[in-house]
């Protein structure tokens, strides 16, 4: 049997201490080489696996961050779209209800009933603001559906308005004798209905509107008619009463000066007097009444009619 060569490793200290020697055979050296190579291979494999797993994790992390960013962007866009839809729904709701109210007023005055307003009130779901409150918890799709419904109902209102327009055109004579628009260029200072009387401080029914304006502002006839009364009348002060046919009469009180006389024919827009503070009055204004078959009615809807 061949004897293995031996190797000796001398360890000499720099401080001059005793020298040490380590002897080992060639066979043992081969074993150590295999161990070192094995450990190196194992370390290399571990490092490679770590790098591979790190690359995968990094890719997943980047994908997750990208997904999270995209999710946040989509949520922001959805919130913005929801807000835009709610604002649009609120504006459409207000426009629709204003149109509906105006049409009811016009029908009340003309006596022409083009539709059942309750149908639209039910469709709207209640007073202004309720639809918007419900929309706060609604999805984008349901908001779009609400907007489409209101658009459709508004188109129906447009059709009804066209019918009313045709009715008015066919009844021009009646409309010429129906009070319409503001008789005075001013602002409303007291409305129709129950109020505290400024003189007695008791609750009394106010049968008309008080329209404040500058002293001497012209007061004009709101419709064609005839002067039934033009003189001083107690608390009304200087007053004019116009008869317009079809049961309509208009009253104007507290004027500073009259511009018409009894039985005089007037056309819509003619000056019948001037704003003052005669009679029981606390300042320059015109007391404006409309009576239908001698019963006072609220003049407010008539102010919005186009003369």
Residue 45 is predicted with a pLDDT of 72
Q: Are 250 and 294 contacting, i.e. CB atoms less than 8 angstroms apart?
A: no
- Threshold 0.85, pTM exceeds: no
Q: What gap in Å lies between CA 13 and CA 16, rounded to an integer?
A: 6
Reading the chain (307 residues) residue by residue, the pLDDT tens digits are 455 567 676 667 777 667 777 776 667 767 777 777 778 777 777 777 776 666 666 666 666 666 667 677 767 777 777 777 677 777 777 776 777 777 776 666 666 655 554 444 444 444 444 444 444 445 667 767 777 777 677 667 777 777 777 766 667 788 889 999 999 999 998 888 887 777 677 778 788 999 999 999 999 999 999 999 999 998 899 999 999 988 999 999 999 999 999 999 999 999 999 999 998 888 899 999 999 999 999 998 898 776 5
Euclidean distance between the first and the last CA atom of the chain, given in angstroms as a whole number? 135
- Phi, then psi, of 230 in degrees rounded to 5: -155, 90
Nearest partner of 255 among 215, 223, 204, judged by Cα: 215
276 CB-contact burial (10 Å; exposed 0-12 / middle 13-18 / buried 19+) = buried
Residue 43 is predicted with a pLDDT of 78
Name the β-bridge partners of 286.
211
202 CB-contact burial (10 Å; exposed 0-12 / middle 13-18 / buried 19+) = exposed
């Amino acid at each position: 049997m061949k004897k293995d060569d031996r190797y000796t490793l001398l360890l000499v200290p720099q401080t001059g201490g005793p020298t040490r020697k380590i002897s080992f055979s060639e066979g043992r050296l081969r074993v150590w080489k295999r161990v070192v190579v094995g450990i190196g291979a194992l370390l290399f494999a571990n490092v490679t696996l770590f790098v591979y797993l790190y690359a995968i994790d990094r890719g997943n992390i980047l994908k997750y961050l990208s997904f999270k960013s995209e999710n946040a962007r989509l949520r922001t866009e959805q919130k913005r779209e929801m807000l835009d839809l709610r604002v649009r729904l609120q504006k459409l709701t207000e426009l629709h209800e204003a149109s509906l109210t105006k049409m009811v007023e016009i029908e009340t005055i003309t006596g022409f009933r083009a539709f059942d307003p309750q149908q639209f009130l039910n469709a709207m779901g209640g007073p202004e603001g309720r639809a918007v409150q419900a929309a706060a918890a609604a999805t984008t799709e349901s908001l779009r559906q609400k907007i489409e419904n209101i658009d459709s109902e508004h188109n129906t209102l447009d059709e009804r308005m066209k019918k009313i327009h045709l009715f008015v055109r066919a009844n021009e004579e009646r409309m010429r004798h129906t009070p319409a628009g503001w008789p005075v260029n001013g602002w409303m200072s007291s409305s129709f209905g129950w109020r505290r009387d400024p003189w007695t401080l008791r609750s009394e029914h106010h049968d008309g509107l008080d329209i404040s304006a500058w002293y001497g502002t012209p007061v004009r006839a709101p419709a064609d008619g005839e002067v039934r009364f033009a003189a001083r009348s107690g608390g009304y002060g200087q007053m004019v009463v116009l008869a317009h046919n079809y049961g309509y009469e208009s009253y104007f009180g507290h004027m500073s000066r009259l511009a018409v006389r009894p039985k005089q024919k007037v056309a819509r827009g003619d000056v019948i007097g001037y704003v003052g503070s005669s009679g029981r009055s606390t300042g320059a204004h015109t007391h404006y009444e409309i009576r239908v078959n001698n019963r006072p009615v609220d003049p407010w809807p008539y102010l919005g009619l186009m003369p």
